[in-house]
Amino acid sequence: MIKNKSILFSLFVALLLLIIYLGSKVSFIFQPFLLLFQAVAIPLLLSMFLYYLLRPVVKYMEQHKIRRTPAILIIYVVFTIILLWFILSQWPKLTDQMVSLVNGFPDILADVKFQLSQLENNEWVASVFPSDNNIVATITEFLNKGFSSITNYVGKFFSFVSNFAIILFTTPILLFYMLKEGEKLGRKAVRATPVRFKRDMLSIITDIDKMLSGFIVGRVLVNLALGVLMYIGFLIIGLPYAFLLTVVAVIANFIPVIGAILSSVPIIIVGLTQSPATAVWALIIILAAQQVQDNLIAPYVFGKSMDIHPLTTIILVLGAGNISGIVGMIIIIPVYMILKIIVVRVFQIFFKRKWQRL
């Protein structure tokens, strides 16, 4: 038996690196599992999102003497009715604005050029920017690159929609079994844990469950409130494509910090096609809605359950975006919180006393 801890730790690291190296040499063995994961990842994530969103409704119906299976079926019927209403009444309006915005981009670009040229002749702007700096050309080039990127994303979006049939048929099935038996998974995990750690495992599962439930439900409520505030403000100032831009802002706001910045760019550009004053008012509405969200709505909804430093959030979102794109940027915060809960609990169980004795 090896009693020297340094040698034991070194052997453990060497063995781990050897396993990783050998795994890289036989990566073809894991390829089918990777393809399977890629196929079910989006439906699984969407099912988990809807599970935490709808679970309180199922529990409320159970409290009023409705069994779980009929309660889930009632929710499916109501959800189907709402989805049909959206497709028949709101989706045409949304698609019309989207097509109009894409087809009218040359006119939008011309309007932006005109407004910028007017600003360039302004004495105050001329005093701030050097005379040799062509603002119009610089911003026009930026807009052209941005439009090319948006076109690529739209293409990817429609490609995603073409594969949406798999998600459409898979997600309801996964969601049904999650709503019906999802809570049993935690109990099975606790039963499979050694007696010594059953209480700790129960605590970890409970904390993760509360965190995910609070985060998902809270994020939806906060984003909906933000969308209502922005839409009302856009209607007041007469911003074109108000409904489409609001929907984009609500969806983008699921990406922490970065999403709010990215969604503000097209809003300001569309406002600039009307006048610089409209663009300024659009920016004021965005900032005011964000302040109401961050200082009034979010603290009330989340409380102290999402105690993450803004700098940590930015680093996590940027890193996840480079690794796995938009999906990674959306899920990185809950993944980080899950890992944080597990690491803190493991440290308290195995390392806290030894650390304090150093």
| Confidence check: pLDDT of 1 > 60 | no
* Residue whose entry in the numeric block shows the structure tokens 């965005």: 286
Question: 306, 301, 300: which is closest to 257 by C-alpha?
Answer: 306
Q: Quote the pTM value.
A: 0.71
What is the pLDDT averaged over residues 195-202?
82
* Interval 150-165: pLDDT, tens: 555 555 555 555 555 5
What's the 3-state SS for the chain? Answer: CCCCHHHHHHHHHHHHHHHHHHHHHCHHHHHHHHHHHHHHHHHHHHHHHHHHHHHHHHHHHHHCCCCHHHHHHHHHHHHHHHHHHHHHHHHHHHHHHHHHHHHCHHHHHHHHHHHHHHHHCCHHHHHHCCCCCCHHHHHHHHHHHHHHHHHHHHHHHHHHHHCHHHHHHHHHHHHHHHHHHHHHHHHHHHHCCCHHHHHHHHHHHHHHHHHHHHHHHHHHHHHHHHHHHHHHHHHHHCCCCHHHHHHHHHHHCCCCCHHHHHHHHHHHHHHHHHCHHHHHHHHHHHHHHHHHHHHHHHHHHHCCCCCCCHHHHHHHHHHHHHHHHHHHHHHHHHHHHHHHHHHHHHHHHHHHHHHHHC
pLDDT of res. 293: 79
Instruction: Give CA angle at 144 (138, 148), nearest 5°.
Output: 145
CA–CA gap between residue 329 and residue 244 (Å, rounded): 22
| Confidence check: pLDDT of 145 > 70 | no
pLDDT of res. 232: 92
Question: 62, 336, 51, 74: which is closest to 220 by C-alpha?
Answer: 51
* Interval 81-109: pLDDT, tens: 988 888 888 878 878 877 777 777 777 77
132 vs 348, residue with greater confidence: 348
pLDDT-derived band of residue 316, with 50, 70 and 90 as boundaries? confident
Backbone angles phi, psi at 349, to 5 degrees: -80, -45
Backbone angles phi, psi at 298, to 5 degrees: -60, -45
| Confidence check: pLDDT of 169 > 70 | yes
Gyration radius (Cα) of the chain, Å: 26
What is the pLDDT averaged over residues 210-219?
85
Write down the mean pLDDT value for the chain. 77
Question: 329, 218, 254, 239: which is closest to 286 by C-alpha?
Answer: 239
pLDDT-derived band of residue 77, with 50, 70 and 90 as boundaries? very high
| Confidence check: pLDDT of 330 > 60 | yes
pLDDT-derived band of residue 74, with 50, 70 and 90 as boundaries? very high
pLDDT of res. 7: 72
CA–CA gap between residue 14 and residue 56 (Å, rounded): 47
pLDDT-derived band of residue 5, with 50, 70 and 90 as boundaries? low
The two structure tokens encoding residue 210: 């509360």
pLDDT-derived band of residue 21, with 50, 70 and 90 as boundaries? confident
pLDDT of res. 129: 52
CA–CA gap between residue 341 and residue 215 (Å, rounded): 14
pLDDT of res. 15: 86
CA–CA gap between residue 275 and residue 2 (Å, rounded): 76
What is the pLDDT averaged over residues 17-42?
72
Instruction: Give CA angle at 69 (68, 75), nearest 5°.
Output: 90
| Confidence check: pLDDT of 140 > 70 | no
CA–CA gap between residue 165 and residue 177 (Å, rounded): 19
CA–CA gap between residue 235 and residue 184 (Å, rounded): 47
pLDDT-derived band of residue 356, with 50, 70 and 90 as boundaries? low
Question: 353, 348, 352, 344: which is closest to 307 by C-alpha?
Answer: 344
